[in-house]
Structure 1
Amino acid sequence: MNYRANRVAEEIKKVISDLIKNQLKDPRIAPLTSVTHVDVSKDMRHAKVYVSVYGSDEERAATIEALKKASGFLRKEVGSKIKTFYTPEIDVQLDNSIERGIHITKLIDNLRNEVEKNDGDE
């Protein structure tokens, strides 16, 4: 991404984070939902919004579904707050990177414990 697209992505991230926190009142949206990253296409017509949801798989699915349904509202609000030639289409995606990181950390800890256990047996 170029510099301008990065700036627009950061602004979109701020606006959508604020909208999720303060304006979207859909009960399907989990309380611990955060925008982790936004990718904007070079022509700035499309924006992928990556969202992290703390909760069960059902809560994650419901939150993503609710945010996808609200993408028109999100796009309208982004267009009113950020002045660009095109208002990008909003595509909400679930970001599992935090869960993956936690899982990898647990695997490393388990492996470390096994190695220490085997070293103590010798």
Structure 2
Amino acid sequence: MIDRTKRLETLFLEEINTIISRMIASGSFSGFITVTGVRISKDLASAKVFYSVFGSDEDKKRAAHNLSVLRGEIGALLRKRIHIKRIPSFSFEIDDTPERASRVEKIFSKIEKSHEAEK
């Protein structure tokens, strides 16, 4: 079951990226969004789609709104593209890993500079 879940997560990741890319190209969606991961529950009933947005806080708010509005349309497109018995209901959650990594990198940089200053 774990192998199947992992394969489905990879498939959903690819398909949702494709759908969003097409929506951006057609103009029905704006912004620079990357789907970074998909986590499907053990019972295959629900899924969390993690995404990151390149831009300001306003861009992130707009992207979250657009994804919530287009969630039904994206789900319908997934049903057409993926042939499994039941498509899990999914929610979109922002992936803040890049921001956290940036903060950690800044902290390490400050520590390194303070050590160099002490020498």
Q: What TM-score comes out, normalization by structure 1 length?
A: 0.89
State the shift of 1:23 in Å: 2.4
The secondary structure found in structure 2 opposite 1:23 is: helix
Equivalents in 2 of 1:76, 1:69: separation in Å? 13
Q: Which residue of 1 aligns with 2:94?
A: 94
Equivalents in 1 of 2:48, 2:18: separation in Å? 17
Q: Which residue of 2 aligns with 1:44?
A: 44
Map 1:52-91 → 2, pairs under 5 A: 52-91=52-91
Q: Which residue of 2 aligns with 1:108?
A: 108
Q: Which residue of 1 aligns with 2:118?
A: 118
State the shift of 1:5 in Å: 0.9
Q: What TM-score comes out, normalization by structure 2 length?
A: 0.91
Equivalents in 1 of 2:105, 2:28: separation in Å? 33
Residue identity (%): 25
- The amino acid that maps onto 1:70 is L
> May I ask how many residue pairs the two structures share in their alignment?
117
The secondary structure found in structure 1 opposite 2:35 is: strand
State the shift of 1:72 in Å: 0.6
Deviations 1:54-102 (A, max 9, x none): 1101110110111111111111111111111111112000000011101
Query: Which of 26, 29, 35 is matched with 2:28 structurally?
Result: 26
